[in-house]
Amino acid sequence: MFQGIPIQPEQASSIARQVDYLYYFLSATAIFFSAVIFSSVFYFSVRYRRRVESEVPKPIHGSLPLELAWSIGPGIICMFIFAWASILYFRNANPPEGAMEVYVVGKQWMWKLQHPAGQREINELHVPAGRPVKLVMTSEDVVHSFFVPAFRVKKDVVPGMYTTVWFQADQPGQYHLFCTQYCGTNHSQMIGWVYVMQPRDYENWLSGGGGGNMASSGERLFQRLGCATCHVPGGGGRGPQLQGIYGKPVLFEDGTKAVADDAYIRESILNPAAKVVAGYKPVMPTFQGQVTEEQILQLIAYVKSLTKDQGNVVENPSEDKATPKMKAPPAGKKP
C-alpha cells in the first residue's frame, strides 16, 4: 500500500507491516468520521437555514434510536481497535524464545551496546537478518528512549531498571536509530544506525572484534571486586554460591520469594540489603558507585553463565506467558 509515497519509513521488521495496517485503519476511521461530520454540518446549515424572519422550528426532544446508534456504533469500532492493538502489543512485548540478546546502555548522549560474544559498539548496532533480537536496556543517567522507525519499535530506557524491546529485521540494510526522549543539550545528536546484515556477514563481523565475551569480562570483575571471596562454588563461603541460581526462585529471610532475573542480580549488587537470601547475614557490601552499568551487565552475564540451561527465562519467569512483564524498579530505589 502507498508504494512510492514516502508517508512512512520503510517496513524493515517482521512487525512493521502489521503496525502500519493498524495505523492506516485508525487514520481511515478518523478521516471517514471527520468527513461525515463536516459534510453533515455543512449540509444541514444550508438545508435548514432560516428562510423567513418569523419561522420558528419545532423543538426536538431527542431520538432514542439515533442516540443508541451513535453510542453503540463507535463503541464497537473502539473495541475492535482495542482488540487489534492489544494483539500487536502482546506480540511486541513478548520476545520469542531463543532471541539473540544485546545489552544497551544509554547515556548523555550516546548509545553503548554490547553483544554477549563481547563486541562493543557505540551508536551502531549490527544484527543478523531474519533472527529475533532482544535488547536489554538501561540508562546511566536520565530517561532515554530507543527508537528505530523502520522497525516500528520504541521503548524507554530508564535508569535503575531494565527494559526490553525486540525485533526481527527482515531486510539487510542500514536503519536510523534515534533517542526519542528529550534528554538534555545534545539530545538531537543521540542518534545512530542499525546495520542489518546477512547472517554470514554478521558471523564474520562478530569474529572480527576481540575483547573477550561478556561473561568472561564479568568473571574478571568478579575476581577483581572480591565477589569471589564470599561467593565460593559449592557453597561454604560467607555468601550463597551463585551456580545455578539464574532464572530460579530465591527464598528470602522474610519468607518472600523472587526469581533471580537480571533486575534481581542488579539489585543484589547495588543494594544487597533490600532482599537477604534465607540463611545468610546481610554482610554483602554495596557496590554502588564502584561499578558502571556496563560492568553490572557483565557481572550479570557471568552469573547467567554459571547456570546451564538458562533458556530465555528473563522475560517470563514462571509467570503467565500471556502477560507482558512490567518490570518494577528495584525495590531499593524506591523513595
Binding site for ligand HEC (CB under 6 A): 225-227, 229-231, 238-240, 242, 245, 250, 260, 265, 268-269, 272, 275-277, 280-284, 287, 299, 303
In the numeric block, which cell numbers belong to residue 148?
528505530
Smallest gap from Cβ 268 to ligand HEC, in A, equals 4
In the numeric block, which cell numbers belong to residue 130?
531474519
- The binder of 238, among ligand HEC, Cu ion, none, by C-beta within 5 to 8 A per type, is ligand HEC
- The binder of 129, among Cu ion, ligand HEC, none, by C-beta within 5 to 8 A per type, is none
In the numeric block, which cell numbers belong to residue 159?
535508569
Tell me 319's DSSP state.
S
Total of residues contacting Cu ion (CB under 5 A): 4
Of the ranges 78-86, 118-126, 137-145, 192-200, which one interacts with Cu ion (CB under 5 A)?
A: 137-145
Q: Are 269 and 296 in contact (CB under 8 A)?
A: yes
For position 104 contacting Cu ion by CB under 5 A, the verdict is: no
Strand partners, 258: 250
Residue closest to 199 by CA, chosen among 127, 271, 144: 127
For position 179 contacting Cu ion by CB under 5 A, the verdict is: yes
Residue from 190, 284, 296, 313 that binds Cu ion (CB under 5 A)? 190
Residue from 102, 183, 265, 296 that binds Cu ion (CB under 5 A)? 183
Q: Which amino acid is at 294?
A: E
Smallest gap from Cβ 325 to ligand HEC, in A, equals 19
For position 144 contacting Cu ion by CB under 5 A, the verdict is: yes
Q: Which is nearer to Cu ion, 190 or 259 (CB)?
A: 190
Strands 173-179 and 144-148, bridge-based pairing? antiparallel
Q: Which is nearer to Cu ion, 165 or 183 (CB)?
A: 183
Per-residue CA distances from 294 to 193, 215, 236, 270 (Å): 20, 12, 29, 13
The distance of Cα 176 from the centroid of its chain, to the nearest Å, equals: 17
Sign of CA pseudo-dihedral 234, 240, 243, 244:
positive
In the numeric block, which cell numbers belong to residue 188?
538531537
Residues in contact with Cu ion by the rule CB under 5 A: 144, 179, 183, 190
